[in-house]
Structure 1
Amino acid sequence: MTAGQTPPRLEIRNLVRVFDGRRVVDDVSLHIRAGQVTCLLGPSGCGKSTTLRMIAGVEMQDSGEIYVDGKLICDTVFRVPPERREIGLMFQDFALFPHLSVAGNVAFGLKGSREEKRARVEELLARVSLGGHIDSYPHQLSGGEQQRVALARALAPRPRIMLMDEPFSGLDNRLRDGIRDDTLALLKEEDAAVLLVTHEPEEAMRMADEIALMRGGRIVQQGAPYNVYTRPADRAAVAFFSDINVLRANVTGALAQTPFGQFLAPGFPDNTEVDIVFRPQHVKLDFDRGGKGPLPTPSDGVAARGVVERARFLGSESLVEFRMDFDGSLLKATVPNVFIPETGRVMWLTIRRDRCFVFPADRKR
């Protein structure tokens, strides 16, 4: 940070948490500015929730530091108590008090006069479209309504930071998108720094200004959603966001040789094995014309022949799986809208060169 620059609202430096000799959180660093939403994305058990608990102050790190607005709030010696960190919390379990009304839940923990508390409660309930439920009790609300009450309660004290741990995973799919969008809009209005934990790539892409992809206790890639998706750090990063196809190839003269033609493989020595990774939506299909396919092009390379194994309509797209002639492997392609070719049909496949990733061969494959 240069002189005169405003410090991040939340900064964590080199956090480590060890359980039974294993680093569950391993040297994690992040910074989030006011009004920014960062998603900590990764599979279950990768250390996301443990990181959140350390920031909240309900669990102590083994090493590392946590800062809010440039001020240290926790290291291994100094520790600001959780209730003084000005951090809001939302979890999958909304944890509403069943004996309190909606108003009582939102006002819980607020300071000030009765009139000030009531004004803040009414303001927030109006903003989450629950003004008519101010005297209702949690058991009288739907899951989506309970989630909005939990959000209002978390925002009521005007926290500088909001931590959210899988807050939408218990909601019906039909409700989830609308509630996520409404929640995001309200968080932006409040100008809090938001750290959202999720294992769902779609949720992270939809909500985040920045994604931190976590695996095995470490952040393996961090950046804007577009960059994380289109410039993945490794094969596993590609696979976390979507289905993938993989071609194993050998490199000669910085070119990987495959039945689909050559792929650029800069930086790999001759005779190195590489994996060429590409998503099903970047496979192009063409019909068989008397045993011939399309001519080679610089952008799509050489066509390879495959036979339809099965095809399914998924709603917004169709998934077609091919048994490839060159080695009998299965390759997936997705096509917008409805495309259900019959099993056994011969087609020709090409791969968009600008949508392929070349990585060192995965020996665990």
Structure 2
Amino acid sequence: MRPDPGEIRLAVEDIGHSYDGTRVLEGVSLELGRGEVTCLLGPSGCGKSTLLRIVAGVERQDEGVVVVGGRVVSDATRHMPPESRGIGLMFQDFALFPHLRIAQNVAFGLRGPAPERAERARALLARVGLERHGAKYPHQLSGGEQQRAALARALAPRPPILLMDEPFSGLDNRLRDGIRDETLDILKEEGTAVLLVTHEPEEAMRMADRIALMRDGRIVQQGAPYNIYNNPVDKEAAMFFSDINVIHGVVTNFATETPFGQFLTPGLADRADVEIIIRPQHLKMDFDRNGAGPLPTPSDGVPARGRVSRARFMGHRSIVELTMDHDGSQLKATVPGVFLPQPGTPLWLSLRRDRCFVFPCREQSVLKSPYFAQ
């Protein structure tokens, strides 16, 4: 569901941009509502940070329009400077002024009487758990404390929009989850619209109301995290969020035969090469009982046999890699807890057909959405 038109804080429309003749953004459009966190997610070099700089006003797009709070701030004829846009900025290096105390850092961008500025800084420092650190200098704080101070400073002027560029990447893994959760709580309380750049799918899934998945300067898919994860637009989108297994097949009479049974593939021409995608956690394993294992359920299709090539325990789950008898391909399955069969152990694998996606091979064509296996 998109934001109510009256609640839209930011809209970018058909943004295009180039560097030295190389296209880095092409036709990028998105909207951001009050209190909404949208994550720009994608690999390094896909255009995420360039789009953030264009929204902030530190860079001007070649084509398209940027609208903040219903007001055009940048198009072909006008370009409002960053300080006039009412947008907060928060980056991975925190950018705190080393010569100012923490309370002075938080109050730096505020206007009005000194007592009011001091009170706003004090209240925000209390909200981020730094009420006892206002008199310290940045170098006297830990990385997590500096991150919280930077958040307080970014929120102090009550910006309707906050841009965050990989703000948690410099934090210790042990602290990151807790600080992300605390940050999200504060942003929701403030009603701030947030555009967050990250290359980590887990971070986007954890923080975002919406994810805009970018690749090669374009947004290839937008939606709620659940929908993006469970309805990937193509193989690469599925692969960005988790490991995948790929099973190849050829279409005949609108169906594809595989060692795991038949998959319906309507809309694809005969002899088209397809890829059936399934994540490791959706593979089901049973021990080979002389070919007489338990009968599969209809949703599991037909079991196929493989032999364990490697098994590893990862703390909360086990990863089992198998070499399949039918073609020597490698498939990977995960199960909760400890499951470490010895190499060479025969196992029957079956697929959760409701969790499979079928795509034509990329060299032929790319579908806008997958076929769910039937």
Same fold judged by TM-score > 0.5? yes
CA offsets 1:309-341 (integer angstroms, 9 cap, x no match): 111111111110001101111100000111111
Deviation, 1:292, is 3.2
Deviation, 1:7, is 5.1
Instruction: Tell me which residue corresponds to 1:251.
Output: 251
CA offsets 1:287-316 (integer angstroms, 9 cap, x no match): 111233333432011101011111111111
Deviation, 1:166, is 0.4
Query: What one-letter code is carried by the residue in structure 2 that aligns with 1:351?
Result: L
Paired with 2:163 and 2:41, the residues of 1 have a C-alpha distance of 13
Paired with 1:91 and 1:104, the residues of 2 have a C-alpha distance of 19
Aligned residues: 361
SS of 1:9 mapped into structure 2: strand
Instruction: Tell me which residue corresponds to 2:9.
Output: 9
Equivalence map 1:234-245=2 (5 Å) = 234-245=234-245
Equivalence map 1:7-156=2 (5 Å) = 8-156=8-156
Paired with 1:159 and 1:9, the residues of 2 have a C-alpha distance of 10
**How does the TM-score come out when normalised to structure 1?**
0.97
263-272 or 89-98, which moves further after superposition? 263-272
Paired with 2:311 and 2:20, the residues of 1 have a C-alpha distance of 47
Deviation, 1:97, is 0.9
Contact 2:7–2:34, Cα closer than 8 Å, also in 1: no
285-294 or 215-224, which moves further after superposition? 285-294
Contact 1:294–1:303, Cα closer than 8 Å, also in 2: no
Instruction: Tell me which residue corresponds to 1:207.
Output: 207
SS of 1:136 mapped into structure 2: coil
Deviation, 1:5, is 4.3
Paired with 1:107 and 1:295, the residues of 2 have a C-alpha distance of 68
70-79 or 132-141, which moves further after superposition? 70-79
Query: What one-letter code is carried by the residue in structure 2 that aligns with 1:31?
Result: E
Paired with 1:288 and 1:213, the residues of 2 have a C-alpha distance of 41
Contact 2:284–2:350, Cα closer than 8 Å, also in 1: yes
SS of 2:289 mapped into structure 1: coil
Instruction: Tell me which residue corresponds to 2:369.
Output: none
Paired with 1:171 and 1:296, the residues of 2 have a C-alpha distance of 46
Structure 2 gaps, min length 5: 365-374
Query: What one-letter code is carried by the residue in structure 2 that aligns with 1:264?
Result: L
Give the superposed CA RMSD. Answer: 1.2
Equivalence map 1:167-316=2 (5 Å) = 167-316=167-316
Paired with 1:241 and 1:83, the residues of 2 have a C-alpha distance of 36
Instruction: Tell me which residue corresponds to 1:359.
Output: 359
Query: What one-letter code is carried by the residue in structure 2 that aligns with 1:349?
Result: L
Instruction: Tell me which residue corresponds to 2:164.
Output: 164
CA offsets 1:66-92 (integer angstroms, 9 cap, x no match): 111211111121111100111000111
Identity of aligned residues (%): 65
Paired with 1:193 and 1:224, the residues of 2 have a C-alpha distance of 16
Deviation, 1:346, is 0.7
Paired with 2:93 and 2:118, the residues of 1 have a C-alpha distance of 25
Contact 1:46–1:216, Cα closer than 8 Å, also in 2: yes
**How does the TM-score come out when normalised to structure 2?**
0.95
Paired with 1:84 and 1:357, the residues of 2 have a C-alpha distance of 47
